[in-house]
Amino acid sequence: MRTIGLLSDHASDEIPASHRDLAECPPVAALSTVTPDGYPQTSVVWCDFDGQCVRVNTMRGFAKERNMRRDRRVTLLCYDPRRPQRYLEVRGMVVEMTKAGAVGHLDALASKYVGRPVRFFGDVIPASFAETEAPVLCRIRPAHVVAADAPGPARCAGQEMKHVSGPIAPEPLPVPVSHLDLLTRPICGVFGPDAQPQSTVVWVDLDRGCALVNTTLQRQKGRNVLGNPKVSLLVVDPGNTSRFIQIRGDAELVTAGAREHLDALTRKYTSQPAYYGYIYPEAQRLRETRVICRIHPRRITLDAIHIADH
């Protein structure tokens, strides 16, 4: 294990005791899988931990279930949206997908999240769904674990230059008006670039139909985007975790105005006047090349299919 500030980076399969609670029924668990065309797909799921593997439950035929059967590389990011600076990222492999015990596991998950003994089919969603949907229990063995806990606001991820790291859709999909607030309010999002999905908590903004994230060319997510522009962004409503927006699209990295954009995000999320000198040491500014990651939407998904009262 190596520790950088308050970010612990475990190169093994260990989930630290300090963050074990985030593997066991976290308020938000964001599962990132890889679609057939190479885009990360990020979905809100329920999860728990059996001591060796993180377990999630989905339905046979769902997109994430098909993705996991085709490509076992996944990432799970667990956090509390009211304290997003403390999070657990688990990158690993799906080692088992089975129907055996899946219904019982789903009932146990539902009971934990709802806070009382319930059955998923009949109490959480209509019992008739049991006739058409087959739960699948998925066990994810951690291979790389990142546990973050910053006491202050979540750390988010210029020169006059522009980096375009892939083909950009000429006309991005419009963000539905019903969910614009999730991209304009100070709500942190889950950003996932790369083929083996890497997920981090980020500050989010919106400009002319593109979701914006601010990072650096030196950080992992910046390097990932330079190598592969296919990304996903998930933003969950802190007051109702079944309400969310997921954007899959192509990332464009722009350095012009990135420092000013970062300071604007800092004021939006923390009320501090600037990022460097207030949130992060001023000396760090000279070692980083800030970039705005403009996400041009290719596909937008809204809200959970099954909504629980929790």
pLDDT, one tens digit per residue, over 94-111 is 999 999 999 999 999 999
Q: Mind giving me the DSSP string for 179-223?
A: GTHHHHSS--EEEEETTTT--EEE--EEETTEEEEEEESSSHHHH
Summarize the confidence of residues 137-142 as an average pLDDT.
97
CA distance 69 to 58: 12
Q: For Cα atoms 246, 252, 256, give the angle at the middle one, nearest 5 degrees.
A: 125
The CA-atom distances, in angstroms, between 125 and each of 19, 106, 110, 118, 130 are 30, 12, 10, 11, 9
CA distance 190 to 146: 14
pLDDT of residue 144 exceeding 80: yes
Q: Using 50, 70 and 90 to split pLDDT, how confident is the model at 155?
A: very low
**CA atoms within 13 Å, Cβ hemisphere of 191:** 28
List the structure tokens of 61.
Answer: 């035929």
pLDDT in tens, 190-248: 988 765 667 899 999 999 889 999 999 998 888 888 888 999 999 999 999 889 999 99
pLDDT of residue 282 exceeding 80: yes
Mean pLDDT for all residues in the chain: 86
Mean pLDDT check: name the lowest of 133-137, 159-163, 178-182. 159-163
Give pLDDT, residue 284: 87
C-alpha torsion angle, residues 155, 158, 160, 164 (rounded to 10): -20
On the 0-12 / 13-18 / 19+ scale of CB atoms within 10 A, 151 is exposed
pLDDT of residue 4 exceeding 70: no
Give pLDDT, residue 164: 39
Q: What contacts 10, CB < 8 A, 6 or more positions away?
A: 1, 16, 144, 145, 146, 147
Give pLDDT, residue 264: 96
Percent share of the chain, pLDDT over 70: 85
Give pLDDT, residue 159: 35
Give pLDDT, residue 162: 41
